[in-house]
Amino acid sequence: MCAETNNGEIYMAVLEGTAYWAFVTSPNTTYDPVYTVNLVVDNETASDFEDRGFTVKQMDEGPAVVIKRKVNGPNGMIRKAPTLLDRSLKEVDVNVGNGSKVKVKYKEWESTWNGKQFKGLDFIKMQIIDLVEYNPDGREDELTAMDDEELDDL
């Protein structure tokens, strides 16, 4: 969870859950380019985020906290991708599939524009605990390694 210092500054925190629709090393470009993950968490955690005004999606798998980072910032600034790490904290470049167990480092932010207040969770890093690698066509590979016995039968 996120905590505040005595002077009201918000610092980074880590949230653990199950990743869905993760775009970590390359952005989702369906609309405005964005790095994002829907992180399925327990009901208590989801309620806490919702009560504080953050986006929580109700998914079939459970409530998901939406953590994202827009690629395009103000004045032409381009934001870098969140860092993706394996269990050993080594940087990796893999496609994180639905159902992967992860930890996500984020930073809460707030801003006001035209008198309206906005809040969000900036996607800083993701650590993969148990990877379900993304398979775009959803099928198993038709090619498999053969053992010696299978080779003898040829």
CATH number of the domain where residue 118 is located: 2.40.50.140
Q: What is the pLDDT of residues 115-132, one digit of tens each?
A: 888 899 999 999 999 999
**Residue range of the domain that includes 55:** 13-152
Strands (E), the chain: 13-28, 34-40, 56-59, 62-70, 83-85, 100-113, 116-130
3-state secondary structure of 129: strand
Q: What is the pLDDT of residues 3-62, one digit of tens each?
A: 444 445 556 799 999 999 999 999 999 999 999 999 999 999 999 999 999 999 999 999
What domain count does the chain have? 1
Q: Is 5 inside any structural domain?
A: no
Q: Is 1 inside any structural domain?
A: no
3-state secondary structure of 48: helix
pLDDT at 111: 85
Q: Is 92 inside any structural domain?
A: yes
- As a whole number, mean pLDDT of residues 67-94 equals 94
In the predicted structure, residue 2 carries a pLDDT above the cut 90: no
Better pLDDT: 74 or 17: 17
Q: Is 95 inside any structural domain?
A: yes
3-state secondary structure of 65: strand
pLDDT at 86: 95
Q: Is 47 inside any structural domain?
A: yes
